[in-house]
Amino acid sequence: MKGSGNGRALVELVDVAKTFDVSPPLLNRLLEGKSRALLRAVNGVDMAIARGETFGLVGESGCGKSTVARLIVGLYRPTRGQIRYDGKRIDNLGAAPALRRNMQMIFQDPYASLNPRWRVAEIIAEPLRTHANGDALAKKDIEERVGGLLRQVGLAPADGEKYPHQFSGGQRQRISIARALAGRPAFLVCDEPTSALDVSVQAQVLNLMRKLQRDMGLTYLFISHNLAVVHHIADRVAVMYLGRVVEQAPTKRLFGFPQHPYTRMLLDAVPDLELSGKARTAVAGEVPNPLSPPRGCAFHPRCPYANERCRNEIPKLKPARGWGGEMTDVACHGVEEGRIPARMTLHA
Amino acid sequence: MTPLLAVDRLRVEFPTRHGTLVAVDGVSLSIAPGEVLGVVGESGAGKSLTGAAIIGLIDPPGRIGAGEVRLGDRRIDNLAPEEMRRVRGREIGAVFQDPLTSLNPLYTIGRQLVETITTHLDLSMRAARRRALDLLGEVGIPAPERRFHHYPHQFSGGMRQRVVIALALAAQPKLIIADEPTTALDVSIQAQIIALLKRLCREHGAAVMLITHDMGVIAETADRVAVMYAGRVVEVGPVADVIHRPQHPYSKGLMGSIPSIVAEREELAQIEGVMPRLDAIPPGCAFHPRCPCAFDRCKKERPELMNAGATRSACWLVVQ
């Protein structure tokens, strides 16, 4: 499973950007002299997700990670750039439907993502009906398949007769997973799938997702703000800050030898269960307003190593030689110029 | 030393058409002056209700059915609403999860602070204003003089939570009840708020009851921790012992299910099943249907907290 994309990537993003126009209405602009406002939610992201891997995407609220998810599954169209699935473009509507069947999405809130008026069996069967390729499946086949899916996610086939409100949060997330798997997808986009769940239930869902990946050879894009969860489940991780990827590396390397000052800051901010007594470095400042991001590197106002170049020039994501000579993709002038002290974390 | 807060066999119940639901069932806790007690548990374990019962904020028809709450040597669970309001704020401060709901959106934060200060302390408006500005500076709000006149919506989530902490500390209470104070915040902001809460409570000598589902926050902040399950305390002890050498099978399962950024684990420990609903709490030990070590006695008799190593655990295995 661990691999850095030998051969062709299953999902590929090339310089993808998504800009939302959040300008005040035209009349207000004319009368009150307000200007146009553009929110660059995703601003030139390159990413390649290999077949069979779990690609983790982390960042704080508003960094654009959910927008990336929505762009990939086609809920938004990119303002710029290309998204490819198995080498074929899926960012334009024309080619999409047949390819889109291969990807499904799991959402954060299992209370909002299931129709409360439908029985669970109907919910899970819906993708079977809509993606049936024209030839309707026999009722009996659908029933059988739904029963099988329920068993796969650890529920009983008889649970199909119940309504979503009769299940707990964790069980509902299992239902969401069963629905996502109904169309036999190869690729699942999971947007904070366990963030609304209690830890013991989160463990059940994470273990289930791993098992399904092993059994069915699935590829995951796993989005979370919880670094420990991503550390547990992902093979490779990308860290986003204000619409850009700032660092990307195999999980072990990213957590063991973080390069970008923001990545280091995030890792330092995670509460330490080992009670090692290390003081958490309180990080000054907050994420800037994305409507008026800082010039140059978006992280420079919070970065202890920022200099003139950081304030003016946007750093590109480039391979940098990290600890032990291994390469990590980092977008930081400081790392490139070698003026950021090397550091090993406790997490190695 | 007499505890600052002593909760004794507290029971919170909700009468319904189908009988009385017991959400907090015989919880006993104590907090020493200046101590940070963590209360941890999953949704529905009764941790927030325990906190709400202590500050007298149980919404009817919910009620305290039995037990008592003492603050110092004074019983506070049977006070009249008017008296309780004076205790709240003056002697016990509160910080809740969502800072936006604890602040009035129609008033500037300066006005809210001054109002809280003059309600509880005998100060002139001028002195109250000065104190409010000092507090804002203390909780790390830049340019307090300017921010004084701003409304809650003009602050970011982390800044709002700082304002709420300033409000909670305004009357210099001896105890702060913090219910999920960092849950709505991003990790980097969470670290700032936890550091702030710790520093201020140390400086002001206030004890804290920190209610959260996040073991990481507890590990960093608390001196002792109580683990709750289905309305009961199942284990209580020094934080290092409960995290590294938990005695109760539920605490063990809970600790094992937390993913870590340090350890490499193929599988997370898994507690099968879910916490029972309030109308279907099993007899005996409430955890027995999910417990890998349950035996006959667990199904019939309810275990009380017993000494088990460095902690106290409500489990029959201790005397087995």
Render pLDDT for B237-283 as a digit per residue (tens, 0 to 9): 999 999 999 999 999 999 888 888 877 777 888 888 888 888 888 99
A100-118 mean pLDDT? 88
What CA–CA distance (Å, rounded) separates B320 from A188?
Answer: 48
Tell me the C-alpha to C-alpha distance, in Å, between residue B218 and each of B170, B202, B211: 24, 16, 9
Which pLDDT band holds residue A281 (cuts at 50, 70, 90)? low
- Say if the Cβ atoms of A171 and B274 lie within 8 Å: yes
Query: Smallest CA–CA separation between B83 and chain A, in Å?
Result: 37
Query: Smallest CA–CA separation between A91 and chain B, in Å?
Result: 31
Contacts of B214 in chain A (CB under 8 A): 271
Contacts of A170 in chain B (CB under 8 A): 274
A182-189 mean pLDDT? 92
B194 at A interface, C-beta within 8 A? yes
Which pLDDT band holds residue A277 (cuts at 50, 70, 90)? low
- Which residue, among B202, B215, B268, would best test binding to A if mutated, counting the most A CBs under 10 Å from its CB? B268
Q: Which residues of A172-205 are buried (b: 16+ CB within 10 A; e: fewer)?
A: bbbbbbbbbbbbebbbbbbbbbbebbbbbbbbbb
Residue found under tokens 């051969």: A7
Query: Smallest CA–CA separation between A65 and chain B, in Å?
Result: 14
Query: Smallest CA–CA separation between A229 and chain B, in Å?
Result: 6
Query: Smallest CA–CA separation between B203 and chain A, in Å?
Result: 18
Chain B nearest-CA residue for A272: B216
- Which residue, among A199, A207, A210, would best test binding to B if mutated, counting the most B CBs under 10 Å from its CB? A199
Query: Smallest CA–CA separation between A137 and chain B, in Å?
Result: 34
- Say if the Cβ atoms of A227 and B240 lie within 8 Å: no
| Residue A314: its H or E element | none
Strands (E), chain B: 5-16, 19-31, 36-40, 63-71, 74-75, 92-95, 175-179, 207-212, 224-229, 232-238, 306-308, 311-313
Q: Residue A245's beta-bridge partner residues?
A: A240
- Say if the Cβ atoms of B257 and A273 lie within 8 Å: no
- In this predicted structure, what is the pLDDT of residue A280? 59
Contacts of B256 in chain A (CB under 8 A): 203
User: Mean pLDDT lowest for which of A331-335, B147-151, B183-187?
Assistant: B183-187
- Say if the Cβ atoms of A231 and B261 lie within 8 Å: yes
- Domain range summary for chain B, segments of one domain joined by +: 5-103+175-188+203-319
Contacts of B269 in chain A (CB under 8 A): 203
Chain B nearest-CA residue for A169: B274
- Say if the Cβ atoms of A199 and B192 lie within 8 Å: no
- Secondary structure class of B111 (helix, strand, coil): helix
Are A162 and A118 in contact, with CB atoms under 8 Å apart?
no
- Say if the Cβ atoms of B257 and A346 lie within 8 Å: no
A33-48 mean pLDDT? 88
- Say if the Cβ atoms of B189 and A200 lie within 8 Å: no
- Say if the Cβ atoms of A199 and B260 lie within 8 Å: no
Give the angle subtended at the CA of A121 by the CAs of A120 and A125, to the nearest 5°.
120
pLDDT digit string, tens, across residues B48-97: 999 999 999 888 899 999 999 999 889 999 889 889 988 988 899 999 88
User: CB-CB: which of A200, A287, A347 is closest to B262?
Assistant: A347
Contacts of B159 in chain A (CB under 8 A): 286
B280 at A interface, C-beta within 8 A? no
Q: What percent of chain A clears pLDDT 70, i.e. is strictly above it?
A: 89
Which pLDDT band holds residue A5 (cuts at 50, 70, 90)? very low
- Say if the Cβ atoms of B261 and A287 lie within 8 Å: no
B68 at A interface, C-beta within 8 A? no
Check whether B119 has a pLDDT greater than 50: yes
Contacts of A209 in chain B (CB under 8 A): none
Check whether A27 has a pLDDT greater than 80: yes
Contacts of B189 in chain A (CB under 8 A): 286
User: In chain A, which residues touch B (CB < 8 A)?
Assistant: 60-61, 168-171, 198-204, 206-207, 210, 225-229, 231-233, 255, 265-275, 280-283, 286-287, 346-347
- Say if the Cβ atoms of A275 and B42 lie within 8 Å: no
Check whether A137 has a pLDDT greater than 80: no
pLDDT digit string, tens, across residues A192-233: 998 888 888 899 899 999 999 999 999 999 999 899 999 999
Q: Which of residues 219-238 of B touch A (CB under 8 A)?
A: 219-220
Which pLDDT band holds residue A148 (cuts at 50, 70, 90)? very high
pTM of the model: 0.84
Of the candidates A205, A204, A125, A111, the residue with the CA atom closest to the CA atom of residue A165: A111
Query: Smallest CA–CA separation between A194 and chain B, in Å?
Result: 12
What CA–CA distance (Å, rounded) separates B43 from A202?
Answer: 13
- Say if the Cβ atoms of A282 and B191 lie within 8 Å: yes
Check whether A133 has a pLDDT greater than 70: no
- Secondary structure class of A15 (helix, strand, coil): strand
- In this predicted structure, what is the pLDDT of residue B43? 85
- Say if the Cβ atoms of A228 and B187 lie within 8 Å: no
Are A153 and A167 in contact, with CB atoms under 8 Å apart?
no
Query: Smallest CA–CA separation between A94 and chain B, in Å?
Result: 39
- In this predicted structure, what is the pLDDT of residue B259? 86
B240 at A interface, C-beta within 8 A? yes
Pick the CATH number of B5-103+175-188+203-319 from 3.90.180.10, 3.40.50.800, 3.40.50.2300, 3.40.50.300: 3.40.50.300
Contacts of B259 in chain A (CB under 8 A): 202-203, 206, 226, 228-229, 231-233
Q: How far is CA A134 from the centre of its chain?
A: 32
B310 at A interface, C-beta within 8 A? no
pLDDT mean across residues, chain B? 90
B259 at A interface, C-beta within 8 A? yes
φ, ψ of residue B278 in degrees (nearest 5)? -60, -30
Check whether A1 has a pLDDT greater than 60: no
User: CB-CB: which of B188, B213, B261 is closest to A347?
Assistant: B261
Contacts of B97 in chain A (CB under 8 A): none
φ, ψ of residue A69 in degrees (nearest 5)? -60, -45
Q: What percent of chain B clears pLDDT 90, i.e. is strictly above it?
A: 55
- In this predicted structure, what is the pLDDT of residue A283? 64
What CA–CA distance (Å, rounded) separates A128 from A141?
Answer: 10
Q: Which residue has the higher pLDDT, A172 or A344?
A: A172
Check whether B31 has a pLDDT greater than 90: yes
- In this predicted structure, what is the pLDDT of residue A61? 83
Q: Token digits for B74?
A: 């004074």
Chain B nearest-CA residue for A256: B262
